[in-house]
Homo-oligomer: A and B are copies of this chain.
Amino acid sequence: MKNRATPRTKVKEEDALVEQFGRIQSRTNVASSPNKSLHVAIGDDAAVWQPRAGHETILTCDWFLGGTHFLADTHPPESIGWKCLVRASSDVTAMGAQPRCFLLSLALPSTRTGAWLEQFLRGLKRASQALQCPIAGGDTTRQNEILINITVVGECKRGRAILRSGARAGDAIFVTGRLGEAEYGLRLLQRAPKRMDIHDQRLRKHLFPEPRLAAGLWLAKHGLATAMMDLSDGLSSDLPRLCNASAVGARIHRELLPCVAIAGRDRLKRFDAREFALHGGDDYELLFTTGPKDVARIPKTIGRVPVTRVGEITSQKNILLISERGIYEALKKKGWDPFRRT
């Protein structure tokens, strides 16, 4: 039953790995940060956590799997470490909440327990510091593929979490940032995985996305979002989820979409910025709705990130895309679904 195959290189035993994970925390941010809510962290059977008074706990978990969500031989380990925490935290951000600590479940081939793991943990530590979100525990085991699962624990004021289900007909639909930037980076990397420089700005959003923490917290603080979620699978896949939870429909105006800027040298590659914006995954921007009387209170930017009105919620339960000339068509789900035939 148990996998007793002999590893090919000298590997660390499980306890040594757990100790190594623990160093992310002690070197960084538990002792020095204001995060006093984490009473017991890595090293025991479980972590002990308590949010601040008047707050409640937000919980989410997220797969990040070699072969499905990333390619171990193409993606730099530092990006994998950064992105696994940021994308999981994005779900907490999308509730208008603040990530506070996380659990790391990591399964590795023996051959990845050396330099690869060091670089992975460096990326993870950077994300952990950027988010002020220390490690609280985890589980590690051996597997042929690199498998990551992250649980993020957040907090928000009691009763103030922004759900997917609060959108009403007449609400305006907004998105943060520019959509399709991650898809653009992905496509470039797919074309020439060996030739790309990982510091190339066109790859930034794909390799090192940033969660929209400031925007999420601002919207929660001012009570301006009736519904919110993050864009992880692409607008055409995620918007129907928000509409479904709220029992409403939506209209998106194609010309309002804040699309990725395709660099001049990539114009001949037949990249379509609007297609990327509608269907590209992995952007981790926020999608939210605001009641008609509050629309004027939504600023053009929150913490330097643009906020753009792209459409409105309708009582009719379909999702329509409206062209510049006012022609309607159904917006088909072409975003990322691991189970869909493509």
Contact = CB atoms under 8 A, between A and B. Distances in A.
Contact of A49 (B43, B59, B245, B281): B59
Contacts of A332: none
Number of chain A interface residues as a range: 35 or more
Contacts of A250: none
Nearest to A165: B44
Interface string A64-107: 01011111001100000000000000011011010000010101
Contacts of A270: none
Given A57-B57, A141-B338, A105 B149 contact: yes
Interface stretch (A11-19, A252-260, A306-314, A322-330): A11-19
A61 B141 contact: no
A226 to B, nearest CB: 14
Nearest to A7: B341
B342 A48 contact: no
18 contacts: A2-B69, A2-B338, A3-B68, A11-B339, A13-B340, A14-B339, A46-B91, A46-B92, A48-B161, A49-B58, A59-B136, A59-B137, A59-B151, A60-B103, A61-B61, A65-B107, A65-B141, A68-B141
Nearest to A160: B48
